[in-house]
């Protein structure tokens, strides 16, 4: 009597027809993904061209300084969101540079000083798209919450390496309201993103008098500390210690 071995079936060659069917299915899925990506880019372009042009028209029609400022802020936020939603990728320092650039633009329209303090010994590991997205959006949401709830005059961002972790803090000089922390969709989203980074996030009273957001998560493996990127000292025009 012949004995049947489980691995015998795995050694049987796949029929050419089955291979062609599998390849055709993979090709169909690839084409669908490419079509969806193209449609997404088309929608972003439409938003930029249509909504952006309308905001520019509105900006030239309003005359009150407060209304003009509001339109400028909305226009800046739209441009920043569309630019970042097209794709957030790169190394740690590249993502931080993108976040700093957007923060400077957002705060400048509101005449808020930015004190960006970045450790000189930060490494520059490559981040996968998910890590880059979570880090960027946590930073953006921290700044958004400060602008929305604290009415700050200055904002301090501190980034440093502690062991194998990155510590990322955003502190405003507004008012600290412990009862509000964790109750909004934004803070819950930040907590979920911190979990995706295998880290943690918490809120506490800040040394500037307002709220401090503290994110800590393990950095991907890297070689040596980077020699490029934003310097740790304050940029020209920024608030100094």
Q: What is the CATH number of the domain that holds 122?
A: 3.30.565.10
Contact 106, 147 (CB under 8 A): yes
* Domain boundary residue, one of 52, 69, 86: 86
Side-chain-side CA neighbours of residue 11 (13 Å): 5
Q: Is the pLDDT of residue 10 over 60?
A: no
Pair 98, 199 in one domain: yes
Residue 3 placed within a domain: no
**Residue 193 located in a structural domain:** yes
pLDDT-derived band at 84 (thresholds 50, 70, 90) equals low
Q: Where is the domain boundary, 86, 116, 142?
A: 86
Report yes or no on 13 lying in a domain.
no
pLDDT at 153 over 90: yes
Span 166-221, pLDDT tens digits:
999 999 998 887 777 766 788 889 999 999 999 999 999 998 889 999 999 999 98
Shared-domain flag, residues 99 and 41? no
Nearest to 103 by CA among 141, 132, 66, 135: 141
Task: Note whether residue 99 is domain-resident.
Answer: yes
Domain assignment present for residue 4? The answer is no
Q: Which of 69, 86, 103 corresponds to the end of one domain?
A: 86
Same domain, 100 and 219: yes
The count of domains in the chain is: 2
Distance between CA 31 and CA 37 in Å, rounded?
A: 10
The whole domain housing 31 covers: 18-86
**Arithmetic mean of pLDDT, 46-54:** 68
Residues 96 and 215 in one domain: yes
Whether 231 and 148 map to the same domain: the answer is yes
- In-domain check, residue 221: yes
127 and 191 inside one domain: yes
Specify whether 79 is located in the same domain as 121.
no
């Amino acid at each position: 009597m012949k004995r049947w071995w489980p691995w015998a079936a795995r050694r049987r060659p796949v029929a050419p027809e089955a291979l062609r069917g599998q390849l055709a299915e993979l090709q169909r899925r690839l084409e669908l993904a490419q079509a969806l990506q193209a449609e997404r880019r088309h929608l972003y372009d439409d938003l930029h061209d249509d909504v952006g042009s309308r905001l520019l028209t509105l900006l030239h029609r309003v005359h009150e300084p407060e209304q003009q400022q509001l339109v400028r802020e909305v226009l800046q936020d739209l441009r920043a969101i569309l630019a970042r939603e097209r794709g957030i990728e790169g190394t740690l320092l590249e993502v931080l540079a993108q976040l700093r650039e957007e923060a400077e633009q957002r705060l400048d329209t509101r005449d808020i000083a930015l004190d960006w303090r970045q450790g000189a010994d930060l490494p520059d590991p490559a981040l996968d798209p998910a890590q880059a997205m979570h880090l960027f959006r946590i930073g953006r949401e921290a700044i958004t919450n400060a602008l929305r709830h604290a009415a700050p005059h200055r904002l301090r961002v501190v980034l440093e390496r502690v062991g194998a972790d990155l510590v990322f803090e955003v502190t405003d000089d507004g008012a600290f309201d412990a009862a509000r922390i964790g109750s909004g969709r934004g803070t819950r989203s930040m907590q979920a993103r911190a979990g995706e980074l295998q880290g943690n996030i918490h809120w506490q009273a800040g040394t500037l008098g307002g709220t401090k957001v503290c994110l800590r998560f393990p950095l991907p493996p890297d070689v040596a500390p980077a020699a490029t990127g934003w310097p740790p000292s304050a940029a020209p025009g920024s608030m100094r210690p």
